[in-house]
Amino acid sequence: MTKEIEKQLVRTALEYRKRAYAPYSNYKVGAALLAKNGTIYGGCNVENAAYTPSNCAERTAFFKAVSEGVKEFDAIAIFGGYDGGELKPCAPCGVCRQVMIEFCDPDEFQIIIGTSEDNYELHTLREMLPFSFSPKELER
Ligand code: THU
């Protein structure tokens, strides 16, 4: 991944964060998922009055891509924080990490988290989800 694409992912995640529907937590998250074919899928968290149906920004992006027939990915940028407040690094929740391991190579897939366009870091999915239960476990 080039620096330029990295930055584009960060910018897209920050842009999609503005679309977050988070009236209950007021914590807004944006994500930008880079497919191997070069397409970027944006996502935001979408909350619900019944709470449990809420969806994280990352899963919104993944499900958008998969529903378009795209299942191979290189990286995701995630930015979150309270509306109107400063951004804090927003590591993906456990459920979203599990969705990532379904489709992504843990040693290749990069997760970008940070606080601004100029302040972020990259982590592999392996770092974020060691000892995972992946589709490999169901092979026989
Ligand atoms: N959230 C995400 O969208 N992604 C994360 O990685 C962490 C949490 C959402 C879920 C909920 O709408 C709000 O942030 C507060 O937890």
Ligand 1 pocket member 57 (CB < 6 A): yes
* This prediction's pTM: 0.97
80: left (phi over 0), alpha (psi -120 to 50) or beta: beta
Per-residue pLDDT of the chain (140 residues), as tens digits, is: 999 999 999 999 999 999 999 999 999 999 999 999 999 999 999 999 999 999 999 999 999 999 999 999 999 999 999 999 999 999 999 999 999 999 999 999 999 999 999 999 999 999 999 999 999 999 99
- Of the candidates 89, 69, 85, 68, the residue with the CA atom closest to the CA atom of residue 77: 89
Distance CA(28)–CA(45), nearest Å, equals 7
Pocket mutation for ligand 1, best pick of 27, 62, 95, 128 (most atoms within 8 Å of C-beta):
27
Of 58, 72, 108, 121, the active-site residue reads 58
Distance CA(39)–CA(33), nearest Å, equals 8
Kindly report the three-state secondary structure assignment for every residue of the chain: CCHHHHHHHHHHHHHHHCCCECCCCCEEEEEEEEECCCCEEEEECECCCCCCCCECHHHHHHHHHHHCCCCCEEEEEEEEEECCCCCECCCCCHHHHHHHHHHCCCCCCEEEEEEECCEEEEEEHHHHCCCCCCHHHHCC
Cα-based angle 60, 86, 30 (whole degrees, multiple of 5): 10
Residue 58 annotated to the active site: yes
140: CA distance to ligand 1 center in Å? 35
Ligand 1 pocket member 90 (CB < 6 A): yes
Distance CA(12)–CA(120), nearest Å, equals 14
Query: What are the structure tokens assigned to 41, written together?
Result: 């899928």
